[in-house]
């Protein structure tokens, strides 16, 4: 892999010094965890020793130092090619540089999904150790999901200002440093660290989609975006459940947070294989990196597409599309976090045993992975716009099915079919929604737009946790009644305001 780009530029020394301080700070928390392991993995109420306090100081110094080192010294004047677009010809084959980029960014997505998925495995042990009521323990997923929502907006904004690659670096730095969440002896400190951890991981999703849309050839862009996103989604849940199965029985729930340290460092080590957006390099006058990008990814310069004749009409159309995408994301988040998250409890309230309820969900969930492949094929071969609409309609059919008379829903095959429709629809929607968003916005605000939709897709988790704290637990029928209308509106609005992106170059779409 000779000739790979360095991770950072002018301030590389400060960046690595900051990373070294963060690493030392995290490692200084381990002796106390080892001591706690000998006492049944119990840290609650124990005072922080001098090593932990020194570690927190080192992390507090290392994070801003590493972030400062990752940022460019100053905005370079626009290069001579600043008014040029860069995109590979449609006939460009995927090569090893595309493969490396896909591999590293998929890891980033797995990390993004893994953190919220870990919450469910952490809560039982956390409640037992701290002796918390359910309502108090619910604060942890609330602050973590709030962090992921904030992170989606924040990192999408930073990606548009400083570039996609720098944004991924900064979020990885914070992600590695907040792994000490698992070493905090007090519940309040767990809340603070988990908010920061959520904020650091939540920004990976919009930035990855924006970057992939900008470096992939048009012929491969559609299926790559959906497949990578879906693989990251499934991989994140598998990573979370696998870690819980292997680590938690031996080392307790705290070890599930500590895995953020090696995974964050691994992402930093692989960051040299993450490219920057070519047009961003052109606008920064970074000609050597731009030339290297052209060679590796088969990019060709072309004059910037002319702006539309009626800019006001184009802006209004984009506003309608943004509204449609946000409504779709919000609807998905409430179905996913408000209905499917509480479905096991609702099934048990209907008289199903916990084992049978889990079995129904497991059988329905077996369709998740094939759904991603089907969506990727439909998105790339048939229609991007109508694939998204179809997945939302599938969710809508599942919601309508949930309103069937209770006597009918007691028949297990019908109930499994309705739950399967909901899982198929939600998995398909989230696999397609963000790739479609990334394709529909120009370079200057693609990160922010994708961050807005990604943040909206997580907002339902925050709202549902607030409702749970207030004692409101949604039922299958109640949630379906509340969500049918917004879900139907989102499908109708996307059918009306959406546009076809399949096979079209970003340059054409931006015009």
Map tokens 């919009």 to a residue.
206
Residue in this structure with the two tokens 């995974």, named with its chain if needed: 263
- What is the Cα–Cα distance from 433 to 447, expressed in whole angstroms? 14
35 Cβ partners below 8 Å, 6+ apart? none
310 alpha carbon, distance to own chain's centre: 35
Q: How far apart are CA 385 and CA 378, in angstroms?
A: 10
pTM for this entry: 0.78
Rounded CA separation 155/81 (Å): 26
Q: Is 50 exposed, middle or buried (0-12, 13-18, 19+ CB in 10 A)?
A: exposed
> What pLDDT is stored for residue 413 in this prediction?
75
Length of the chain: 511
* Residue 423 half-sphere exposure toward CB, CA atoms < 13 A: 22
User: In whole angstroms, what is the distance from residue 368 CA to residue 365 CA?
Assistant: 5
- For residue 303, the cross-strand partners are 84
- Cα(450)–Cα(436) distance, integer angstroms: 9
**C-alpha span between 105 and 109 (Å, rounded):** 6
The helices-and-strands tally (H runs, E runs) of the chain is 24, 2
Show the CA angle centred on residue 84, arms to residues 83 and 86, nearest 5°: 150
Q: Identify the CATH assignment for 97-299 out of 3.40.50.300, 1.20.1250.20, 3.90.1580.10, 3.40.630.30.
A: 1.20.1250.20
Look at residues 276, 249, 257, 321 and name the one whose alpha carbon lies nearest to residue 111.
257
**Which candidate, 42, 250, 45, places its Cα nearest to that of 129?**
42
Per-residue pLDDT of the chain (511 residues; tens, 9 = 90+): 334 445 565 677 888 888 889 889 888 888 877 777 777 667 776 777 778 889 889 988 988 888 888 777 655 444 444 456 777 777 788 888 988 888 888 888 887 777 777 777 777 778 888 887 777 777 888 888 888 888 888 888 888 888 888 888 888 888 888 888 878 888 888 888 888 888 887 777 788 888 888 888 888 888 888 888 778 777 777 777 777 777 777 777 778 888 778 888 888 888 888 888 887 787 777 788 888 888 888 888 776 666 665 667 767 777 888 999 999 999 888 887 766 666 655 565 666 555 555 555 555 556 666 777 888 888 888 898 999 999 999 989 888 887 777 677 677 777 777 777 887 888 888 888 988 998 888 877 888 888 889 888 888 778 877 777 776 666 666 777 778 888 899 999 999 888 888 877 776 666 6
For 94, the token pair is 């995927």
End-to-end Cα, the chain, rounded Å:
37
Q: How far apart are CA 391 and CA 424, in angstroms?
A: 8
pLDDT value, residue 4: 42
pLDDT score at 339: 67
At 105, list the tokens: 């960014």
| CA gap 54, 270 in Å, rounded | 29
Q: Which CATH number fits domain 321-511: 1.20.1250.20, 3.90.1200.10, 1.20.140.10, 3.30.420.40?
A: 1.20.1250.20
Q: List the structure tokens of 473.
A: 């637990």
The percent of the chain in helix, strand and coil, each rounded to the nearest 5, is 75, 0, 20
Provide the residue ranges of all domains of the chain, joining segments of one domain with +: 7-35+46-72, 97-299, 321-511
The span from the CA of 61 to the CA of 89, in Å, is: 46
Beta bridge partners of 300: 87
DSSP codes of every residue in 118-149 = HHHHHHHHHHHHHT--HHHHTHHHHHHHHHHH
Give pLDDT, residue 325. 93
Write down the pLDDT at residue 393: 93
Burial of 22 (C-beta count, 10 Å sphere; 0-12/13-18/19+) = buried
What are phi and psi for residue 319, nearest 5 degrees?
-60, -40
Q: What is the DSSP letter of 106?
A: H
Q: Bridge partners of 87?
A: 300
Angle at CA of residue 486, ends 143 and 405, nearest 5°: 100
Phi, psi for residue 301 in degrees, rounded to 5:
-75, 150
Residue 334 and residue 463 in contact, taking contact as beta carbons nearer than 8 Å: yes
- Record the tokens describing residue 373, joined without a space: 């492949």
SS3 letters across 203-237: CHHHHHHHHHHHHCCHHHHHHHHHHHHHHHHHHHH
62 and 25 Cβ atoms separated by less than 8 Å: yes
């Amino acid at each position: 892999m000779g000739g790979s780009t360095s991770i950072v530029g002018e301030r590389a020394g400060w960046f690595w010094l900051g990373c070294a301080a963060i690493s030392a700070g995290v490692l200084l928390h381990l002796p106390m965890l080892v001591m706690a392991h000998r006492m049944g993995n119990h840290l609650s109420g124990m005072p922080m020793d001098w090593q932990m306090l020194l570690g927190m100081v080192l992390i507090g110094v290392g994070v801003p130092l590493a972030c400062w080192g990752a940022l460019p010294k100053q905005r370079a004047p626009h290069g001579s090619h600043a008014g040029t677009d860069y995109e590979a010809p449609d006939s460009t084959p995927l090569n090893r540089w595309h493969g490396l980029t896909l591999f590293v960014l998929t890891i980033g997505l797995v990390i993004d999904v893994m953190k919220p998925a870990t919450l469910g495995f952490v809560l039982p042990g956390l409640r037992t150790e701290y002796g918390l009521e359910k309502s108090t323990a619910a604060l942890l997923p609330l602050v973590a999901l709030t962090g992921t929502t904030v992170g989606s907006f924040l990192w999408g904004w930073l990606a548009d200002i400083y570039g996609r690659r720098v944004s991924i670096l900064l979020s990885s730095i914070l992600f590695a440093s907040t792994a000490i969440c698992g070493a905090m002896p007090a519940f309040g400190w767990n809340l603070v660290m988990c908010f920061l951890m959520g904020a650091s991981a939540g920004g990976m999703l919009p930035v990855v989609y924006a970057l992939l849309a900008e470096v992939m050839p048009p012929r491969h862009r559609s299926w790559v975006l959906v497949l990578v996103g879906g693989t990251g989604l499934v991989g994140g849940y598998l990573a979370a459940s696998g870690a819980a199965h292997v680590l938690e029985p031996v080392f307790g729930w705290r070890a599930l947070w500590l895995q953020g340290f090696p995974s964050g460092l691994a992402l930093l080590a692989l960051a040299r294989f993450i490219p920057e957006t070519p047009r961003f390099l052109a606008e920064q006058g970074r000609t050597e990196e731009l030339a290297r990008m052209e060679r590796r990814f088969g990019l060709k310069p072309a004059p910037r597409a002319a702006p539309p004749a009626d800019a006001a009409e184009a802006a209004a159309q984009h506003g309608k599309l943004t509204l449609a995408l946000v409504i779709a994301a919000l609807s998905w988040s409430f179905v996913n976090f408000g209905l499917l998250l509480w479905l096991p409890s609702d099934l048990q309230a209907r008289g199903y045993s916990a084992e049978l309820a889990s079995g129904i969900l497991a059988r329905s969930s077996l369709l998740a992975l094939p759904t991603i492949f089907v969506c990727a094929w439909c998105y790339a071969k048939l229609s991007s716009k109508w694939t998204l609409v179809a997945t939302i309609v599938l969710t809508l059919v599942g919601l309508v099915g949930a309103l069937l008379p209770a006597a009918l829903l007691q028949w297990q095959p019908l109930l499994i079919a309705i739950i399967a429709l909901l899982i198929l629809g939600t998995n398909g929607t989230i696999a397609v929604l963000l790739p479609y968003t990334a394709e529909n916005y120009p370079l200057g605000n693609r990160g922010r737009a994708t961050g807005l939709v990604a943040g909206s897709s997580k907002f339902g988790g925050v709202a549902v946790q607030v409702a749970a704290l207030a004692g409101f637990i949604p039922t299958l029928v109640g949630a379906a009644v509340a969500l049918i209308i917004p879900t139907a509106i989102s499908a109708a609005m996307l059918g009306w305001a959406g546009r076809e992106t399949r096979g079209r170059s970003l340059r054409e779409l931006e015009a």
